[in-house]
Chains A and B, each alone.
Chain A
Amino acid sequence: MPESDQPHDEVRVHETTPLIEPGHTFASVTDKISSLVLKRRTPLGWFIGFGISFMLFQLFMLAVTNLVFTGVGIFGTNQPVGWAMPIINFVWWIGIGHAGTLISAILLLLRQEWRTSINRFAEAMTLFAVACAGMYPVFHLGRPWLAYWLFPYPNTMGIWPQFRSPLMWDVFAVSTYATVSALFWFIGLIPDFATLRDRAKSRGWQILYGLLAMGWRGSARHWARYEMAYLLLAGLATPLVLSVHTIVSFDFAVAQLPGWHATIFPPYFVAGAIYAGFAMVLTLTIPLRKFYGLEDFITDRHLRNMAKVMLATGLIVAYGYMMEAFFGWYSANKYERFMIWNRMTGPYWQFYWALILCNIVTPQLLWIRRIRHSTLALFIISLVVGVGMWLERFVIVVTSLHRDFLPSSWGMYWPTVWDWSMFIGTIGLFLTLLFLFIRFLPIISIFEMRTILPQAEVEEEAA
């Protein structure tokens, strides 16, 4: 039964599913979240999870060591596919990061209170995803120890970077994004560091959290400036996050290659980034809230809302695919036409149709209420979308490059074992950082959770 057909009351009840289970107080919220870091003994599951992640991270170290000693020849990247796994993975990771900023900044400006219990975690995810993304351009340089050449600094060669290139824009966009995300995250943590400082029992932790809290004491004047700074940062991060994936899409769109040279790229990339990011947030929060018993704070309403955002952005992405196909035909340009036909029926046809299946067909299940309400189904769909978004970048990068204008220079690309090692290795790096974060920092913003309790309202006297 569609939702609009239901009796009015039922719809209202559904909308008021609490953001936080009733019965919590300032003290219980504080103690529950801070005890995950401070009191509770580290669960065995944490060691197992961290151990596996750390092993995968060693695979990354191995791949990078081999890369530095041998050279980029260990990757399958070669003419005509001069941009392959490194940029696919770069775009995939950076896109995943975008959901964190969307949750923390855009939903803050839109006064979506439900963001409160997931924003800290999503921001951490952003930061780690950007760190993983950053590995690819640096290690794909060939001589990664000269990575600082990307920045404009006065040098003995007397030359400067070429600022008309989207690749230079990318350097600025990604480094700005990493910096602003880190600042936003750290600022959000300061009051919680103070809570941990005051709750910690051992001297060492008191000093460590005390240093990080920088003497925060919850003064009303401090809070007023803090809230202003937080709001302004959210206002700055909002256009920033849109600009970052726009600029990433310029890396492709400014080139004249069929399949890349399209005006739809910026909005389509931004929607795809949010789509992949929300899928990743769901993939991570569903097991996390289960293992740490956080169902009181990350309620079913959060999961359902995220599923709806995923469905909405998925539809924008579907529109993007449709327009790509439509303009391939409508352009009446034989290279464009060939490109889209080659995508659908050429040697990489499985990738294209798997992409359609993962990114367009599967998420349509989210229209069904029962599926939105099933945690397991959401988890599976979010994994499928994560794979789909990786396939999207593979299709865009590889199928456009491998057969361009001159049939004499056509070729095929397949990733080597080192391409895969580095990709799986960055997943290890990401999970390793995430496990450390879960162990040492509050995964839910404690002070913001206090503000959404009903007791936090100041009651005005009726006078």
Chain B
Amino acid sequence: METKPPLYGLMAEFDNPTDLVEAARQTYDEGYRRINGYSPFPIEELAEAIGFHKTRLPLIVLLGGIFGGLAGYFMMYYMEVIDYPLNVGGRPFHSWPAFMPITFETTVLCAALAAVFGMLALNKLPQPYHPVFNAERFALATRDRFFLVIEARDPKFDHDKTLAFMWSLNPKEVVDVEV
């Protein structure tokens, strides 16, 4: 009976972004798909190298904005036209130009909330525990080191062969990462 693998994957360490991106490209070309790169700052080329091209975030933000705009407008419509019509200086109950500023503000508010919470949700954050933190030197991923991980769940993963492959990428070090 196959139990959960005790190994999360293999982690290679690099000391500059160029080596990491190059290694990530080669790993992807080699056929590995469950891979990820870790860096102290965003590297556009890295996301492409590991085969991550598109995020749904812009759609979420768009929907958030549309929801916010409609909710703001119809909130005012309901309150000022249906529930409690009030004659203010003879203006029509449905005085839409006066409703625009708040419609705009609620649009921006909901879109911004969607951007922040959408990003956190898609990234599955907050996540207090993750196997990569078990690697001793991984604390440097937030300082000046660059890491590439091939997960053990990858169908092509074979500890010895993958280890040999990763050493061929000119890393500073390759370590096992436990789950």
A residues in contact (CB < 8 Å) with B: 25-27, 30-31, 152, 158-166, 168-169, 172-173, 176, 179-180, 183-184, 186-187, 191, 194-195, 197-199, 210, 214-229, 232-233, 236-237, 239-240, 243, 247, 250, 447-448, 450-451, 455-459, 461
Residues of A within 8 A of B130 (CB): 215, 217
* A176 contacts B58, C-beta separation under 8 Å: no
* A214 contacts B112, C-beta separation under 8 Å: no
* A217 contacts B47, C-beta separation under 8 Å: no
**Measured between alpha carbons, how far is A173 from B108 in the docked complex, in Å?**
10
Residue in A31, A159, A232, A447 whose beta carbon sits within 8 Å of that of B84 in the complex: A159
* B143 closest partner in A (C-beta): A30
**Measured between alpha carbons, how far is A187 from B24 in the docked complex, in Å?**
27
Residues of A within 8 A of B123 (CB): 219, 221-222, 225-226
Residue in B38, B84, B104 whose beta carbon sits within 8 Å of that of A160 in the complex: B84
> Given A180-B109, A183-B116, A224-B52, is A218 in contact with B141 using a C-beta cutoff of 8 Å?
yes
* A199 contacts B143, C-beta separation under 8 Å: yes
**Measured between alpha carbons, how far is A29 from B117 in the docked complex, in Å?**
30
Binding site secondary structure of chain A: helix
* A254 closest partner in B (C-beta): B98
Residue in A173, A195, A447, A456 whose beta carbon sits within 8 Å of that of B101 in the complex: A173
Interface 1/0 per residue, B76-89 and A, CB below 8 Å: 10011001101010
**Measured between alpha carbons, how far is A237 from B84 in the docked complex, in Å?**
33
**Measured between alpha carbons, how far is A226 from B39 in the docked complex, in Å?**
13
Q: A210-B128, A447-B40 are in contact. List 7 more A-B contacts (CB 8 A).
A: A172-B101, A198-B139, A217-B130, A218-B40, A220-B36, A220-B46, A250-B101
Residue in B39, B88, B106, B120 whose beta carbon sits within 8 Å of that of A162 in the complex: B88
* A160 closest partner in B (C-beta): B79
Q: Can you list 24 A-B contacts (CB < 8 A)?
A: A25-B144, A160-B80, A163-B76, A163-B79, A163-B102, A164-B95, A165-B88, A166-B101, A179-B112, A184-B112, A210-B128, A214-B127, A218-B40, A220-B37, A221-B36, A221-B52, A223-B46, A225-B122, A236-B111, A243-B108, A247-B101, A447-B40, A450-B40, A458-B21
Interface centre among A198, A243, A457, A461 (most CB of B within 10 A): A198
> Given A183-B112, A226-B119, A240-B108, is A220 in contact with B47 using a C-beta cutoff of 8 Å?
yes
Binding site secondary structure of chain B: helix
**Measured between alpha carbons, how far is A215 from B76 in the docked complex, in Å?**
40
**Measured between alpha carbons, how far is A158 from B101 in the docked complex, in Å?**
24
> Given A226-B119, A228-B57, is A164 in contact with B38 using a C-beta cutoff of 8 Å?
no
* A180 contacts B112, C-beta separation under 8 Å: yes
Interface size class of B (residues with CB under 8 A): 35 or more
* B18 contacts A228, C-beta separation under 8 Å: no
Residues of A within 8 A of B67 (CB): none
Interface 1/0 per residue, B15-53 and A, CB below 8 Å: 011100110100000000000111111111111001010
Residue in B18, B129, B140 whose beta carbon sits within 8 Å of that of A459 in the complex: B18
Residues of A within 8 A of B40 (CB): 26, 30, 191, 195, 218, 447, 450
* B37 closest partner in A (C-beta): A220
Minimum Cβ distance to chain B for residue A452 (Å):
10
Residues of B within 8 A of A216 (CB): 125, 142
Q: Does B12 contact A (CB under 8 A)?
A: no
Q: Does B105 contact A (CB under 8 A)?
A: yes
* A222 closest partner in B (C-beta): B123
Q: Does B132 contact A (CB under 8 A)?
A: yes
* B101 contacts A228, C-beta separation under 8 Å: no
> Given A30-B143, A224-B52, A247-B101, is A176 in contact with B109 using a C-beta cutoff of 8 Å?
yes
Q: Does B157 contact A (CB under 8 A)?
A: no
**Measured between alpha carbons, how far is A20 from B75 in the docked complex, in Å?**
49
**Measured between alpha carbons, how far is A166 from B65 in the docked complex, in Å?**
22
* B41 contacts A220, C-beta separation under 8 Å: no
Residues of A within 8 A of B75 (CB): 152
* A218 contacts B109, C-beta separation under 8 Å: no
Residue in B39, B106, B119, B120 whose beta carbon sits within 8 Å of that of A228 in the complex: B119
* B116 contacts A187, C-beta separation under 8 Å: yes
Residues of A within 8 A of B4 (CB): none
* A176 contacts B127, C-beta separation under 8 Å: no
* A236 contacts B43, C-beta separation under 8 Å: no
**Measured between alpha carbons, how far is A252 from B122 in the docked complex, in Å?**
43
Q: Does B61 contact A (CB under 8 A)?
A: yes
* A220 contacts B112, C-beta separation under 8 Å: no
Q: Does B91 contact A (CB under 8 A)?
A: yes
> Given A218-B142, A458-B18, A458-B21, is A232 in contact with B58 using a C-beta cutoff of 8 Å?
yes
* B36 contacts A162, C-beta separation under 8 Å: no
**Measured between alpha carbons, how far is A250 from B55 in the docked complex, in Å?**
39
Minimum Cβ distance to chain A for residue B80 (Å):
6
Closest 6 CB pairs of A and B: A214-B126, A26-B144, A229-B119, A215-B127, A160-B79, A224-B47
Residue in B16, B42, B52 whose beta carbon sits within 8 Å of that of A455 in the complex: B16
Residues of A within 8 A of B98 (CB): 163-164
**Measured between alpha carbons, how far is A13 from B61 in the docked complex, in Å?**
42
**Measured between alpha carbons, how far is A212 from B173 in the docked complex, in Å?**
30
**Measured between alpha carbons, how far is A214 from B129 in the docked complex, in Å?**
10
* A217 contacts B57, C-beta separation under 8 Å: no
* A228 contacts B105, C-beta separation under 8 Å: no
**Measured between alpha carbons, how far is A216 from B41 in the docked complex, in Å?**
12
Residue in A31, A176, A229 whose beta carbon sits within 8 Å of that of B116 in the complex: A229
